Amino acid sequence: MKESAGTYSKTQAHELLLDFKKILQRMTGFLDSHFHEIQPDSLINEFLEEFETLIPRLPYIGGRSNLNNLDLIQSSWALAIYRVLHRRGKTLEEVGDFIYESREALILTFPRVLIRFYSWYRFTSFFKNKWRRFALETQKREHPDNFVITFVEGYSQEFDYGYDYSECAILKFFETQGASELLPYICATDIPVSKALNMGLKRTTTLALGGEKCDFRFKRGRETDENWPL
């Protein structure tokens, strides 16, 4: 999908909606188990309608050439879910827990062979070189709403590699949407991903909680640090 500069065409917006719909349909059983009083199909339609209103507001950060573009899109899915459930009377904490648990449930829907592949791939030289180049590109700040990243080389036995995010596109977008309170819960969804891919993520500070950066450090096989404040 080729993005236009700053906006999505009707065709592109339709593709984004289809992507979200496919994910939601994979989680029908999970939705039903959490919201007995609401038909999953009805809830899915509400999520899709809310996401559709967000698409024109999504910032352009380079499209598919941006390795973090999908993170921004998926976070906007979470924002749509938050708004729908909040209108239905759910608290921030309840929605945050739901988003976290839904990420865990979604991971379980993928084939184990695919999970094993990405667990291996994330520590290959090819992957790390790709991110070194991408981090340098973000530092040019060609897109003001983008992430800005520094690739961090592995240090001895402490970690294999890492990233420092000094600017976050998700944070910027959520601030424009008046939804900064949801950001720590979005950050927390990195935990189940790291656990599933055996990435050994450790992070001591985040922009969402007022830090100067988000410091991702990965060590293959290490236990993922789950003690993150909200």
Total tally of structural domains belonging to the chain: 1
Could you tell me if residue 205 is inside a domain?
yes
What is the C-alpha to C-alpha distance for residues 7 and 92, in angstroms, rounded to an integer? Answer: 30
Considering only 1-5, 87-91, 129-133, which range has the smallest mean pLDDT? Answer: 1-5
pLDDT at 185: 96
Sign of CA dihedral 28, 29, 34, 38: positive
Could you tell me if residue 223 is inside a domain?
no
User: 90 lies in which domain range?
Assistant: 10-218
Residue 111 above 80 pLDDT?
Answer: yes
Q: Tell me what percent of the residues of the chain surpass a pLDDT of 90.
A: 84
Cα 198 to its chain centre, rounded Å, is 18
Could you tell me if residue 5 is inside a domain?
no
Give residues with Cβ within 8 angstroms of 158, minimum separation 6: 217, 219
> Which pLDDT tens digit goes with each residue over 146-178?
999 999 999 878 999 999 999 999 999 999 999
Could you tell me if residue 227 is inside a domain?
no
What is the C-alpha to C-alpha distance for residues 103 and 114, in angstroms, rounded to an integer? Answer: 16
Could you tell me if residue 210 is inside a domain?
yes
pLDDT at 6: 54
What is the C-alpha to C-alpha distance for residues 6 and 56, in angstroms, rounded to an integer? Answer: 9
> Which pLDDT tens digit goes with each residue over 67-108?
999 999 999 999 999 999 999 999 999 999 999 999 999 999
Could you tell me if residue 4 is inside a domain?
no
Q: Are 16 and 8 in contact (CB under 8 A)?
A: yes
Could you tell me if residue 153 is inside a domain?
yes
Could you tell me if residue 3 is inside a domain?
no
Q: Are 82 and 182 in contact (CB under 8 A)?
A: yes
Cα 133 to its chain centre, rounded Å, is 21
Residue from 184, 19, 175, 14 nearest 95 by CA: 184
